Structure 1
Amino acid sequence: MNGYLLLITAILGEVFGSTMLKASNGFKKILPILGIILGYALAFYALSLSLKTIPLGMAYAIWSGVGTALTALIGIIIFKEGFNSKKLLGLILIIGGVIVLNLGGTH
């Protein structure tokens, strides 16, 4: 499987797990707790496999940056968390940082 496809899988697993953290209401709801376990297990497994072909720094930057941005968007859209210009700037900076790291190549 392609390293970047595995990385996307890792990101989606991590975002799902993080979303389930919020939904678990402090680990009080069993189905979201199972979602946390499943999401993070998938995330770390897929991330570990992606590291066979993607350099660690690059993979982790993409994983954490894109995961953070997606998680923030889910918070805003699903959980109706506030959105303002500071959050927008933060998301732009995260995405910009990932782009700059990717432009740096794999060397």
Structure 2
Amino acid sequence: MRTLLLTLVLAACSSGTKAPAPPTNQSSSDTTCTTDSDCVVVETACCDHCNGGKAEAFNKAVADAHKPTSCENTTCTLMACGAATASCDAGTCKVTIQPLR
């Protein structure tokens, strides 16, 4: 039974296409903030931060520019992890991954 389960998990993880690389045109102004409410979490890869992607914090005014595109054929795992939260720390948006509850 374990062998079957392991085989199914590996097969599911190896199918599909790789997620495209996140955009590299990030400037420091994209993460500038004065309060926590200026910042939002953006999953910058096709899969979320729990499943091979990355969560980053950006100023909400430019957040949409950092969202991934062309993810229709991407297969992601379904692992659980803590929520990502954004905050303003010394004028820069930062992301924190909360503990899994």
Q: Does the alignment reach a TM-score above 0.5? A: no
What is the TM-score normalised by the length of structure 1?
Answer: 0.25
Larger Rg: 2
Considering fraction of residues, name the structure with more strand: 2
Give the alignment's TM-score, normalised by structure 2. Answer: 0.26
Q: Determine which structure has the larger helix proportion and give its number.
A: 1
